[in-house]
Amino acid sequence: MSSNFNLDDSIRKIEDFPHKGILYYDITSILTNPEAFSWCIDQMVEYYKDKKIDAVAAVESRGFIFSAPFAKAMQIPLILVRKAGKLPGVTLKKSYQLEYGKAEVEIHQSDVPQGKNVLLVDDLLATGGTMGAAVELLTMGGANVKHIFGIIGLPFLKYADKLPGIEIKTLIEYESENVGS
């Protein structure tokens, strides 16, 4: 498959969601397009194949979709970063601030590979709050997070500011969330 694939054509844009004036970038249209989905996974594997990645951690829930086939292709463990209250074992938890409130994520403590390099994945990188909390969780557990990957990046929301010292890779970036921009 060509590295010149136009991913933008496979991303559904929904105006005024979740609020008026917001342009929502929906990855579910990638999932209904086998060529687009395969291209995303192939790009991940190609980019990370020569980097020292010992495990991949995925943020609930859309991050799971891209991380599972990547983990299989790379033959590395998959660690799930879940919303609070979803994991039955001993967990590490981290609260973080949302635009309007708080949220909390957790991981199984025993899933964190001590001293190993972990790639952290989500479908879309926006403000960096969830990813920052996930980095803190993995670091608390003893892992090294040197890489973050997202299908879509919204750099105007300054996610990189909350993720200093970590290499961030996205397949496509959009410069505005406003309808008509």
Q: How confident is the model over 96-138, as pLDDT tens digits?
A: 987 778 999 999 999 999 999 999 999 999 999 999 999 999 9
> Distance (Å, rounded) from C-alpha 55 to C-alpha 67?
10
Which class would CATH give 51-173? Answer: alpha beta
Q: What is the pTM of this model?
A: 0.93
**pLDDT score of 180 more than 60:** no
**Which two tokens mark 74?**
């790379």
Q: List, for residues 32-76, the tens digit of each pLDDT value.
A: 999 999 999 999 999 999 999 999 999 999 999 999 999 999 999
Question: What is the identity of the amino acid at 160?
Answer: A
Average pLDDT, the chain: 94
Where exactly are the structural domains of the chain?
A: 51-173
Q: What is the pLDDT of residues 88-105, one digit of tens each?
A: 999 999 999 877 789 999
Interacting residues of 44 by C-beta distance below 8 A, sequence separation 6+: 66, 70, 121, 149
What amino acid positions are annotated as catalytic residues? 62, 99
